[in-house]
Amino acid sequence: MRKILVAGNWKMHGSKAMVDALTRGVLEGVESTPAVDLAVFPPNLFLGQVQALAEGTRLNWGAQTLNPHAEGAFTGEVSAAMLRDFGCRYVLVGHSERRSLFGESDADVAARFEAAVAAGLEPVLCLGETLEEREAGATEAVVARQLDAVIERVGAAGFAQATLAYEPVWAIGTGLTASPEQAQAVHAFLRNKLVALDGTIGGQTRILYGGSVKPANAADLFAQEDIDGALVGGASLTAEDFVGICRGAS
Phi, psi angles (nearest 5°) of residue 166: -85, 115
Contacts of 23 (CB under 8 A, 6+ apart): 40, 49, 50, 53, 54, 59
Are the C-beta atoms of 194 and 160 separated by less than 8 Å?
Answer: no
Which of 48, 173, 199, 203 touches ligand 13P by CB under 6 A?
173
If one asks whether residue 167 binds ligand 13P (CB under 6 A), the answer comes out as yes
Contacts of 40 (CB under 8 A, 6+ apart): 7, 8, 10, 23, 26, 50, 54, 59, 60, 61, 62, 236
Which of 42, 211, 244, 248 touches ligand 13P by CB under 6 A?
211
Q: Which is nearer to ligand 13P, 9 or 146 (CB)?
A: 9
* Shortest distance, position 205 Cβ to ligand 13P, whole Å: 18
Q: Which is nearer to ligand 13P, 42 or 211 (CB)?
A: 211
If one asks whether residue 79 binds ligand 13P (CB under 6 A), the answer comes out as no
# binding residues, ligand 13P (CB under 6 A) = 14
Q: How far is CA 137 from the centre of its chain?
A: 25
If one asks whether residue 210 binds ligand 13P (CB under 6 A), the answer comes out as yes
69 is an active site residue: no
C-alpha closest to that of 115 among 146, 79, 85:
79
Contacts of 213 (CB under 8 A, 6+ apart): 177, 221, 230, 231, 232, 235, 245
Which of 53, 88, 213, 239 touches ligand 13P by CB under 6 A?
213
d(CA 75, CA 68) in angstroms, rounded, equals 13
Q: Name the residue number minimizing CB distance to ligand 13P.
A: 233
C-alpha pair distances (Å), 208 with each of 24, 71, 139, 164, 184: 24, 31, 17, 6, 10
95 is an active site residue: yes
Q: Which is nearer to ligand 13P, 1 or 12 (CB)?
A: 12
Q: Which stretch binds ligand 13P (CB under 6 A): 14-22, 67-75, 105-113, 228-236?
A: 228-236
Which of 4, 232, 245, 249 touches ligand 13P by CB under 6 A?
232
Q: Which is nearer to ligand 13P, 211 or 248 (CB)?
A: 211
Identified catalytic residue from 114, 129, 133, 167: 167
Let me know if 219 is exposed, middle or buried by CB neighbors in 10 A (0-12, 13-18, 19+).
middle
Q: Which is nearer to ligand 13P, 12 or 17 (CB)?
A: 12
If one asks whether residue 208 binds ligand 13P (CB under 6 A), the answer comes out as no
Question: Which residues are catalytic, by number?
Answer: 95, 167
User: Rule CB under 6 A: which residues touch ligand 13P?
Assistant: 9, 95, 167, 172-173, 210-213, 231-235
